[in-house]
């Protein structure tokens, strides 16, 4: 099963996205180029047998459901809070 990483334009409501096969020999260079274009990593890695299946899983937003389930636990919510603060601080320093 292949691993795919998805990237979205911020505030595009997951409509403007692209993805990469993480097994590609040029993955790191392609990822750097995508991030330089303003995309951000979206969710976690998606495991799928094909790129079409990965896109279907991404569009179904199945990771969102798992994330919401996890947020029911207080410790998970605290970790998400810390991640949000970290992103906010470092995104302001970059701009």
Based on the fold, state whether residues 67 and 33 are members of the same structural domain: no
Based on the fold, state whether residues 85 and 49 are members of the same structural domain: no
Cβ count within 10 A of residue 10: 10
Cα 25 to Cα 43: distance, rounded to the nearest angstrom:
22
How many domains would you assign to the chain? 2
Based on the fold, state whether residues 45 and 81 are members of the same structural domain: no
Question: Distance between the two ends of the chain, CA-based, in angstroms?
Answer: 38
Tens digit of each residue's pLDDT (9 = 90 or more) over 65-95: 666 676 677 787 788 788 888 888 877 655 5
Tokens of 82: 């810390």
Based on the fold, state whether residues 33 and 69 are members of the same structural domain: no
List beta partners, residue 40.
8
Tens digit of each residue's pLDDT (9 = 90 or more) over 38-51: 999 998 898 889 99
Q: How far is CA 26 from CA 8, 15, 29, 31, in A?
A: 19, 25, 5, 8
The range of the structural domain enclosing residue 38 comes to: 1-60
Based on the fold, state whether residues 47 and 85 are members of the same structural domain: no
**pLDDT band at residue 28 under the 50/70/90 scheme:** very high
pTM over 0.85: no
Based on the fold, state whether residues 68 and 48 are members of the same structural domain: no
Based on the fold, state whether residues 16 and 55 are members of the same structural domain: yes
């Amino acid at each position: 099963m292949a691993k795919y990483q998805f990237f979205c334009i911020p505030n595009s409501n997951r409509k403007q996205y692209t993805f990469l096969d993480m097994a590609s020999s040029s993955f790191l260079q392609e990822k750097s180029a995508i991030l330089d274009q303003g995309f951000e990593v979206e969710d976690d890695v998606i495991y799928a047998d094909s790129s079409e299946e990965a896109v279907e899983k991404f569009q179904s937003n199945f990771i969102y459901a798992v994330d919401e389930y996890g947020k029911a636990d207080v410790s998970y919510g605290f970790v998400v809070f810390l991640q949000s603060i970290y992103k906010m601080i470092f995104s302001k320093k970059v701009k």
